[in-house]
Structure 1
Amino acid sequence: MAMNSSIIPGLTDDAAELCLTHVPRSSVRTLSRVCRRWRSFVGGEHFAAVRKSAGVVEEFMCILMESECGREVYWEVFDGSGNKLGQIPPVPGPVKRGFGVAVLGGGKIVFVGGYTEIEGSGINSTTVSASADVYEFDPAVNSWRKLASMNVPRYNFACAEVDGFLYVIRGYSRDTFSLSNAEVYNPETNKWSLIECRNRPVWRGFAFSFNSKLYAIGNGTRFIDVYDPESQTWDELNSEQSVSVYSHTVLKNKVYFMDRNMPGILGVFDPDENSWSSVFVPPREGGFWVRLGVWNDKVLLFSRVCGHETLMYDPYKETGSKWRVCDQIKPSASHLTSALIKF
């Protein structure tokens, strides 16, 4: 079929494009093998634009994983049915630790900051180099691009998206200096702005969005800092509970987390009620050192050890066990973090 022929004989190109955009992305690779014209269409940005304008979007889970030896870090992608669609390109630059991952606009992954280790000349002289780099992955072009750098290099910080703006809170900078500020990124201007925040002796913690406000919970403190972007002011809630969270996820205005001090327990925080509760996790081989994610309106618990089961928790199931093994999502390595995008 020539490049200048109709996409589908007997249909206008507009109608043909609309037909092809309704094909699930798991079948796009098959479409690209039909002819050069189809391969050109489904492989370009116009395909994504037509899908978006037609309201044809799917949800994908992108999981960042680490090989057993820790030398390779890569992303795997699963669709809403659990089909493994392959990998997305790695984040540019060296492998980092202590980074932040968020989703902007519902469809783009943002990889923020982190650190690399630099070996010195003496014994035990390894130092940490904090990064201010920020990269954005656009699934429409299957590539990363560098965004404006943060004002302050940082790692082990909390981050969250609130109404289209990305916030990073506290963390550490060069020479393990503890930070007492925050920054906000405006995707329209591609600029970061520094904002003040309370100076708390916390290690990382986590952040999330609720009712158009930023909630930041630091490990080792019972206080929750709440930032109102409209008034540009901070408030403080006393949760009366100190946490040591190493993984969290948000599902329908509730925060689910794993706490180092509560092995075998899935913690639940309701910001609307400022209340805490917990759910027992069924014991599994490999222990409870897990990472959390959300998929199809359910909470996923990924084993920290490669090759073990992924558990699924359905908080809205009315009868029977709320837990079951998730056979659909099977990462090929140790899970670091995950992000849901709609594309």
Structure 2
Amino acid sequence: MLEGPSYLVSRDLPSSCEQESKWIYNTFRLIELSSNKRRLQDGEEKTLRKSSKLSDALEGEKVCRVVNDFSNVQNDQSIEQLQAGNHSDIHDVSDTQIDQSNDHNQSGDCSDIYDFSHEKNEQSNGELRAGNLSDIHDFSDAQTDESNDQHEGGVHSDILEFSHAQTDQSNDQHPAGEHSDLSSLVHQLGRDISINCLLRCPRSEYGSVASLNRSFRSLIQGGELYRLRRQMGIVEHWVYFSCTLLEWEAYDPNHNRWMHLPRMTSNECFMCSDKESLAVGTELLVFGKEITSHVIYRYSILTNTWSSGMKMNTPRCLFGSASFGEIAILAGGCDPCGNILSSAELYNSETGTWRTLRSMNKPRKMCSGMFMDGKFYVIGGIGTGNPKSLTCGEVYDLETETWTEIPNMFPARNGGVGLIEAPAAAEAPPLVAVVNNTLYAADYAEKEVRRYDKERNEWVTIGGLPERAVSMNGWGLAFRACGDRLIVIGGPRVLGGGIIELNSWIPNEEAPQWDLLASKQSGSFVYNCTVMGC
């Protein structure tokens, strides 16, 4: 079960008026913030998708007025109908008024929508008080209080279920080819404006949104919102990590929320095998080995489920990898026979397909990968014929589809003077992360953070790691980029359990000052960790 508010699809509808009121308030509030942040200009594209004539006529400053006035009318009508026991479809009222507006637009009368709404409001309420443009929050609270006062004596039916029932009734009344269930989400706003509001909602709330009705559920599970968010540059980064075999946690640093993913279903061989992880698009991929073959398990945030069966063109393990939006690149590693590979593959999460790329100049395993300046880099690892770690790196240009070797890109080994160096095969792959196209590395032995100077091709020590972040030759410690910050996940090791700590630092010109974002009782050894941005 998910801990706290779910960011995934819930199977149960919320059961309180308060939840619905909060959601309506958040939606209206988002419209207000959106209109203040980005004014609609004449001749400019009104929405990311092709907007209807109705949404084209909306000006950013007056969106809130339309919502305020129109919602006031709809709320009064809906309350009167609830009191009278007449649960007619409010959706039909909305359709009628929108159709009337479309008739005006088709006749060439592109009058201001606010005036139209104002006229409708005066017809229903008799008069509209001048200057009634109060904060939507106050408006929403007032409407909620009024609704609560009038819903006494057993009339406190779940508004969400009522809305859901009305949606189902509306679907039955509108045959195929007419107004479908997916044609609008918030009927008073229309589909385009509804989607623009949802794009700016935290994705941790999408599970609640999907519970509203089939339209919202289809929108969330179809992944359309995430594709539009990516096009608009709206990204939230969550950390996914595993401190217990087959169990994964997710952490939202923006809202300080923990979530527990469903347990993976696999055999004991996969559970005990070495595993790599990678987040790409809306998927979490976990690579491992079963009895006779390499397998990939895929977790989808759209459905909150695990699935298996994905196959690479060249099965591999101990590779370097990184993701960039909906694509990811895997390079090097070992094949099922233990041979070290120089081949690479590109995965597209939108199509679920693998494409073989040109091979690297050198084969390597136990390496690390990252995207920087729009290019894919591989550093470290062990090559063929030499048990020591490779110091050269390679960069893949996606435009020219070529690999270029970078001599002496990574220090030969972790470890300081006087320390006994572990065999290269016992060391973890390089702990590296990229923030704002700057490469950072964690030296587990010296407990230092280094920054890579691309111009000079050298590393500069800038400070230390969190004191309580321990590892075993680099294993068990996570060092990742999470948006504009560096994340270190680890904790003190104790018998019978431990504490996992998430430390964060936003890189600047000064030495790292680590902030403790969160901690919880858990195994202190991090088996796998990745960051998903969508």
CA contact (8 A) 2:296 2:309 kept: yes
**Gaps in structure 2 of 5+ consecutive residues:** 1-161, 171-183, 382-388, 415-428
**Alignment-derived partner of residue 85 in structure 2:** none
**Alignment-derived partner of residue 88 in structure 1:** 261
Q: 1:315 aligns with which of 486, 492, 507?
A: 507
**Cα shift at 1:228:** 3.1
**Alignment-derived partner of residue 120 in structure 2:** none
SS at match of 2:514: strand
SS at match of 2:330: strand
RMSD in angstroms over aligned alpha carbons? 3.6
**Alignment-derived partner of residue 121 in structure 1:** none
**Alignment-derived partner of residue 412 in structure 2:** 242
Matched, 1:24 2:202: yes
Q: Distance in 1 between matches of 2:186 and 2:305?
A: 29
Q: Distance in 2 between matches of 1:50 and 1:15?
A: 13
CA contact (8 A) 2:247 2:264 kept: no
Q: Distance in 1 between matches of 2:394 and 2:369?
A: 9
CA contact (8 A) 1:243 1:259 kept: no
- Listed one character per residue, the Cα deviations across residues 39-67 of structure 1 (whole Å, up to 9, x for unaligned) are 54444334752575475945131322122
**Cα shift at 1:221:** 1.5
Matched, 1:191 2:361: no
Q: Distance in 1 between matches of 2:318 and 2:226?
A: 37
Q: What is the identity, as a one-letter code, of the residue corresponding to 1:206?
A: S
- Listed one character per residue, the Cα deviations across residues 267-316 of structure 1 (whole Å, up to 9, x for unaligned) are 33244542212233256246355211233511111115441543323321
Q: Distance in 1 between matches of 2:395 and 2:287?
A: 23
Q: What is the identity, as a one-letter code, of the residue corresponding to 1:108?
A: T
Matched, 1:335 2:518: no
CA contact (8 A) 1:108 1:136 kept: no
**Cα shift at 1:204:** 0.7
SS at match of 1:95: helix
Q: Distance in 2 between matches of 1:229 and 1:166?
A: 12
Seen in structure 2, the aligned counterparts of structure 1 residues 210 and 300 have a Cα distance that, compared at 3 Å, is closer
How do 1:47-58 residues align onto structure 2 when only pairs under 5 Å count?
48-50=223-225, 52-53=227-228, 55=232, 57-58=234-235
**Cα shift at 1:206:** 0.6
Seen in structure 2, the aligned counterparts of structure 1 residues 271 and 206 have a Cα distance that, compared at 3 Å, is farther
Q: Distance in 1 between matches of 2:489 and 2:297?
A: 25
Q: 2:276 aligns with which of 89, 100, 119?
A: 100
CA contact (8 A) 2:372 2:434 kept: no
CA contact (8 A) 1:182 1:194 kept: yes
**Gaps in structure 1 of 5+ consecutive residues:** 119-128
**Cα shift at 1:190:** 1.4
Q: Distance in 2 between matches of 1:291 and 1:279?
A: 19
SS at match of 1:113: strand
CA contact (8 A) 1:147 1:190 kept: no
Q: What is the identity, as a one-letter code, of the residue corresponding to 1:337?
A: N
Q: Distance in 1 between matches of 2:326 and 2:466?
A: 38
**Alignment-derived partner of residue 218 in structure 1:** 380
Normalised by the size of structure 2, how large is the TM-score? 0.50
Normalised by the size of structure 1, how large is the TM-score? 0.74
CA contact (8 A) 2:361 2:405 kept: no
Q: Distance in 1 between matches of 2:466 and 2:201?
A: 40
**Cα shift at 1:155:** 1.3
Query: Could you say which structure has the higher helix fraction?
Result: 2
Residue identity over aligned pairs, in percent, reads: 16
**Alignment-derived partner of residue 158 in structure 1:** 320
- Listed one character per residue, the Cα deviations across residues 165-216 of structure 1 (whole Å, up to 9, x for unaligned) are 43222212334x232322212525713326333345x541211223343321
Q: Distance in 2 between matches of 1:180 and 1:287?
A: 31
CA contact (8 A) 1:217 1:224 kept: yes
Q: Distance in 1 between matches of 2:533 and 2:316?
A: 28
SS at match of 2:224: helix
How do 1:259-338 residues align onto structure 2 when only pairs under 5 Å count?
259-260=443-444, 262-281=445-464, 284-285=467-468, 287=470, 290-304=477-491, 305=493, 306-316=498-508, 322-328=512-518, 332-333=522-523, 334-338=525-529
Matched, 1:142 2:304: yes
**Cα shift at 1:324:** 2.8
Q: Distance in 1 between matches of 2:194 and 2:313?
A: 47
Report the structure number with the largest CA radius of gyration.
Answer: 2
Q: What is the identity, as a one-letter code, of the residue corresponding to 2:260?
A: Q
**Alignment-derived partner of residue 247 in structure 2:** 73
How do 1:110-129 residues align onto structure 2 when only pairs under 5 Å count?
110-111=284-285, 113-116=287-290
Matched, 1:206 2:206: no
SS at match of 2:313: coil
Which sits farther off after the overlay, 9-18 or 251-260?
A: 9-18
Seen in structure 2, the aligned counterparts of structure 1 residues 267 and 206 have a Cα distance that, compared at 3 Å, is same
**Cα shift at 1:26:** 3.7
Count of aligned positions: 316
Greater relative contact order (Cα 8 A, min sep 6): structure 1 or 2?
1
CA contact (8 A) 1:311 1:324 kept: yes
Seen in structure 2, the aligned counterparts of structure 1 residues 39 and 171 have a Cα distance that, compared at 3 Å, is same
**Alignment-derived partner of residue 180 in structure 1:** 341
CA contact (8 A) 1:149 1:192 kept: no
SS at match of 2:433: strand
